[in-house]
C-alpha cells in the first residue's frame, strides 16, 4: 500500500503518512496500489491497471451544499443519485417511494452521509 498523496510506502495499520502527514486513502496524485504517479482525474492507474476509487466526499464533481439541498427536498425521488451518475440507485429510490414509501428513509441516510463526507460515488457501480 502506498500514500496517494506522496507515493511513500505504507504499513497496513498506518493511519497517516509519516512523510506528508495526509490521512491514508486521501490524495489523488499517486496510485495506492503501486505508488506510481497518476493523473488527478484518472480512473485507472496506467502502470498497474488498478481502478482508482473516488475519495470520500467526492460527489462526482457536484457541490456539497447543492447536493444536500437536493437530497433534502427531492431525495425521496432519487434526484441526487441521478445527478451523481448513480442511475440504478435513483431508479430503485423512485420505485421504493411509490411502492412502500421507503425512499424518504433512504434519502435521509444519503443526506447524513453527504453532510458528513462519508458518501462515496463508486465508479464501478455507475452505468
d(CA 36, CA 42): 13
Angle among Cα 83, 85, 91 to the nearest 5 degrees reads: 85
Closest-CA residue to 106 (of 20, 56, 114, 59): 114
Rounded to two decimals, what is the model's pTM? 0.54
Rounded CA separation 40/64 (Å): 20
6 phi and psi, to 5 degrees? -125, -10
- State pLDDT tens for residues 30-84: 888 898 999 877 888 888 988 876 554 566 667 888 889 999 999 989 999 898 8
In DSSP terms, 31 is beta-bridged to none
Band of residue 91 on the pLDDT scale cut at 50, 70, 90 = very high
Amino acid at each position: 500500500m502506498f500514500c496517494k498523496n506522496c507515493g511513500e510506502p505504507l504499513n497496513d495499520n498506518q493511519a497517516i503518512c509519516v512523510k506528508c502527514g495526509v490521512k491514508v486513502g486521501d490524495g489523488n496524485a499517486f496510485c495506492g496500489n503501486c505508488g506510481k504517479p497518476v493523473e488527478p482525474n484518472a480512473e485507472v492507474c496506467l502502470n498497474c491497471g488498478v481502478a482508482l476509487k473516488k475519495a470520500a466526499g467526492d460527489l462526482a464533481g457536484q457541490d456539497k451544499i447543492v447536493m444536500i439541498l437536493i437530497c433534502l427536498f427531492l431525495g425521496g425521488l432519487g434526484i441526487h443519485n441521478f445527478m451523481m451518475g448513480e442511475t440504478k440507485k435513483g431508479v430503485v429510490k423512485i420505485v421504493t417511494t411509490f411502492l412502500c414509501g421507503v425512499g424518504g428513509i433512504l434519502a435521509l441516510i444519503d443526506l447524513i452521509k453527504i453532510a458528513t463526507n462519508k458518501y462515496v460515488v463508486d465508479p464501478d457501480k455507475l452505468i
